Structure 1
Amino acid sequence: MRWLLVCAALLAAPASAQTLRIGLGADPNVLDPARSGSFVERVVFTALCDRLLDVAPDLSFRPELATAWAWEDGGRTLRLTLRTDGRFHDGTALDAEAVKINLDRYRSAPESVRRAELRPVTAVEVVDARTLLIRLSQPHAPLLSVLSDRAGMILSPTALARLGARIGEEPVCSGPFRLTRRVAQDRIEMERVPEHWNAANIHVQRIIMRPMPDSTVRLLNLRSGQLDLIERVAPADVAGARRDARIAIAESTAIAYQGIYFNTESGALRDPRLREAFELSMDRAVINRVALEGLFVPSNQPEAPGAPYHFAALAAPARNVARARALLREAGQPNPAFTLLVPNSPVEAQVAEVMQSMAAEAGFQMRIETLESAAMVARAEAGRYDVSFGIWSGRADPDGNIALWIASDGFLNRMFYRNAAVDAAFTAARQTTDMAARRGFYQAAAEQWMADRPMLILYHYRWFWGLRARMTGFEPSPDGLIRFSGLRLPPG
């Protein structure tokens, strides 16, 4: 109740009809695309930073800063043609040289976690102000998907020269909104950029984003009129929200998935037999039914059932508590104790409690530690954890849905997992655009990493957004991001 009263008080001030007030599921950690590693930061960047390419609801690529692209030299060169009307928020021209500066930074800066994504890039060459060539050491099919995310977000070279690695304190991009104020744990404020190339389709003057990890608080503030749009409506609240005439629910099947990952180097479950026992203690269908109102999609793979890169032959094992107990005895740890790091979200907390109950039946002593999302990620990156929750928002290319976690050099490989055969399969899959061949390579990788279990995937999401009634122009997308083009607040 204290949370409800505090948030209601914070939001009590009236907002202009031209101000879009958004409730976020977490507070962003860092607003620098080079260093970013959380989903909520991608939501903020969609307003702030244009990308070279965007992803349509059907997961095809569509123009944003690049108006055209073409593969050359047998897939070893990507030619990009840039729009003529792009401009950074500080007035700096957005040209091919600016794109080169950003891509070179993502490839080489010590602070950049984009280096692994761009490792195949050997050079970025400026042809003229509107054309550049990205040279590759070998064909790399996932590159378009990479350029549709943070590695394709282009910041002002003037601001980069001034701030360097501190650019996240004052990000200067070229998106439809510019940052005007940020108060950590409280708000992010932006204003519309009248000079933006798509300004005619941007219909709100200001955005205020408020981090509210508690989904109940977000929904309460939407219902009371203190927010206009919220992300991630909790499954338990969807049915009631649909009956509320004051709001509307938009939804989309997600490419996002929820997983847990293990510290395979020094965590309490570093013995693979313990990880296998833990999976055998789980029932994904029960987790979905009890904690998620049956609205999500139980899955043990990075691609949802029915997707082209989902492998039916690698189905999740049935729950087998007796076998789990036998594995624990075999490992000499009949009652292993460990801590699961969980974000401070009621949905994930409930999932964790269901898992805790299931694991206990097999002999595990599982402790739940709840942390703010950024703190949870920091703990995991430092290796100070046993097991941690990890949401992945999903990518249009299959490589971006698993290799970033599992490959030895993956920037999300917080498990310290290394397997040369898996790395080789990922490398081979990236070098061809033939779907059947790629599918074979990703299946070979999956057979190995799913047996090693550095991580377990639990379910795929359905995205549920809450909107004020009569808001128009909202485009639900499988990637869970909020696009602002065409979005209009209700009149009055």
Structure 2
Amino acid sequence: MTTRLSLIAALLLSTAAAASAAELRIGLENDPDTLDPDRSRLFVGRIVFTALCDKLVDVNEKLEIVPQLATAWTQSEDGRSITFTLREGVKFHDGTDFNAEAVKANIERSKTLEDSVRKSELASVESVEVISPTEVRLNLSAPDATVMAQLTDRAGMMMSPAAFAEGKDFASAPACSGPFKFVSRVAQDRIELERFADYWNAEAIKLDRVVYLPIPDTTVRLANLQSGDLDMINQLAATDIPAVQGNGNLRVEQVTGLGYQGIYFNLANGPQSQNPLGQDARIRQALNLSIDRNAINQVVFQGAFPPAGQPFPPDSPYYNEAYAAPERDVEKAKALLAEAGVATPVNIELQVPNRPENQQTAQMIQAMAAEAGFNVNIVTKEYATLVSDGAEGSFQSHTKGWSGRIDPDGNLHQFVTTGAGFNDGHYSNPEVDRLLNEARTLTDPAQRKERYDAAQAILQQDLPVTYLYYQAWLYGVDAGVQGFKPYPDGMIRLQNVSDAD
């Protein structure tokens, strides 16, 4: 009898412990494409990496660069090198040590891995020099004002070299040094992480587990939040703000973001570029002028997503008023099509993610463009598939969002320079390359802006990308979740976040 009572007591204690384990369930708008920072292209992947992979440096709420795995750094007088002092006693999730050799291995992998999309972000890094186990130097081919900003994102994420050694698939068993370690992943269903006991800043981590659930439909995400099956949802639809605010068990968190939504055109990436839209800038200009961005903002986003005409938001010092969002001009659009000598309606294919707000936006563009002489065929795809197909050139045009970066280079260079990682349409203009590469080497904001203005003058004519709206970050959050602070970069940081439920 005593043995049985002891067994029952043990089971009850075990059940109570399991019940008290703090788990945060986060609904994401897409499923990450890969859990390898060097290969990752999707925004939602960055959210998961924020919990999984610490970086050399991070940003605070004011977008100032602050220490993370590097505690200090100095730049040489000629701007050709940056020396980092590394945090001591840091472990990767697989138990191996984080040190200068690990930094060297990570940076070199980002630069040399065949399908790395970090190459253009670290193009100026000529070599990595290990000075001591806690000191490492990046030697640059030329001064580069963008490197520190790049290291606050995936280019600066530190993975265990043992986990990406030859023959190993890092994405299937990722091991970094962040506050949470990988448990499991079921594609299109969930990603599960658990608290890393040896995390260097363990006292700031209040949660035991984090589960990310991809739910593309905003209505379904909200329903799961309302039912209590989720504790937080990313990308709350603007139209759902009143429903969340009217629910005493929920709240809205929001912050102005750095990114934008645009239409990207295939100009030279395979056979699908061989059509009037891809081969004649006047056709793209006509489509651009057929769109009423103000109407999209009001109808789809309840006025929360301002119209865009360039990659820099209005509060950026690099914003140029001359390239503000264009007003709709159907007659000018028709004139451009007539000048191009194409038969109307011009048939074009527009690929869009399978999210309601993207589909609504595409439907409005379809109706607006029809008045100017276009027949827009909307093709809906899961977002990771859309991105993958874009990289392979399997598109005429597609809409994609960009979460934005703290340095202006991050909002433009990798989309429009020759051979850059996100230049899916294979746009190439030597003068644009020259101007944007020069802007990277300058530290004076006025001089950098001159280059960006000159590049934009060309890009506004060639139009490899047309911008639709700037994004705000909107979150639906359960009232029991405490300590969450939204950041302008859109990342969900879990330090000091707790869940009372």
Structures share fold, TM-score greater than 0.5: yes
Match of 1:379 in 2: 389
Match of 2:336 among 327, 344, 349: 327
**Structure 1 position 296 matched with structure 2 position 305:** yes
Structure 1 vs Structure 2 CA RMSD:
1.3
**Structure 1 position 124 matched with structure 2 position 128:** yes
Matched residue of 1:161: which SS?
A: coil
Match of 1:141 in 2: 145
Q: Is the 8 A contact 1:337 1:364 kept in 2?
A: yes
Q: Is the 8 A contact 2:21 2:208 kept in 1?
A: no
Q: Is the 8 A contact 2:73 2:85 kept in 1?
A: yes
Match of 1:464 in 2: 474
What do residues 103-149 of structure 1 show as CA deviations (whole Å, max 9, x unaligned)?
Answer: 01111111211111111111100000110000001000000011111
Match of 1:185 among 188, 207, 211: 188
Match of 1:230 in 2: 233
The amino acid that maps onto 1:452 is: D
Change (3 A) 1:162 1:180: farther
Match of 1:262 in 2: 265
Structure 1 unaligned regions, length at least 5: 1-13
Following TM superposition, the consecutive aligned residue runs of length 4 or more in structure 1 with deviations greater than 6 angstroms are: none
Matched residue of 1:317: which SS?
A: coil
The amino acid that maps onto 2:88 is: T
Aligned runs of 1:358-373 on 2, under 5 Å?
358-373=368-383
Q: How far apart are the structure 2 equivalents of 1:362 and 1:190?
A: 50
User: TM-score, length-normalised on structure 2?
Assistant: 0.93
Aligned runs of 1:45-124 on 2, under 5 Å?
45-124=49-128
The amino acid that maps onto 1:96 is: A
**Structure 1 position 21 matched with structure 2 position 25:** yes
**How far off is 1:288 after superposition?**
0.5
Q: How far apart are the structure 2 equivalents of 1:289 and 1:444?
A: 32
The amino acid that maps onto 2:128 is: V
Match of 1:282 among 285, 291, 294: 291
**How far off is 1:305 after superposition?**
1.2
Q: How far apart are the structure 1 equivalents of 2:21 and 2:221?
A: 19
**How far off is 1:245 after superposition?**
0.7
Q: Is the 8 A contact 1:185 1:211 kept in 2?
A: yes
The amino acid that maps onto 1:477 is: Y
Q: Is the 8 A contact 1:344 1:370 kept in 2?
A: yes
The amino acid that maps onto 1:434 is: D
Matched residue of 2:388: which SS?
A: helix
Structure 2 unaligned regions, length at least 5: 1-17
Q: How far apart are the structure 2 equivalents of 1:430 and 1:379?
A: 29
**Structure 1 position 307 matched with structure 2 position 316:** yes
Q: How far apart are the structure 2 equivalents of 1:80 and 1:54?
A: 14
**How far off is 1:267 after superposition?**
5.0
Q: How far apart are the structure 1 equivalents of 2:231 and 2:128?
A: 42
Aligned runs of 1:148-159 on 2, under 5 Å?
148-159=152-163
Change (3 A) 1:424 1:267: same
User: TM-score, length-normalised on structure 1?
Assistant: 0.95
- After superposing the two structures, state which structure 1 stretch, 316-325 or 60-69, moved more: 316-325
Matched residue of 1:117: which SS?
A: helix
Larger radius of gyration: 2
Match of 1:34 in 2: 38
What do residues 166-186 of structure 1 show as CA deviations (whole Å, max 9, x unaligned)?
Answer: 211111111000111100011
Match of 2:11 in 1: none
Q: How far apart are the structure 2 equivalents of 1:473 and 1:305?
A: 30
Q: Is the 8 A contact 1:341 1:388 kept in 2?
A: yes
Change (3 A) 1:15 1:22: farther
Give the total of aligned pairs. 477
Match of 1:421 among 426, 431, 440: 431
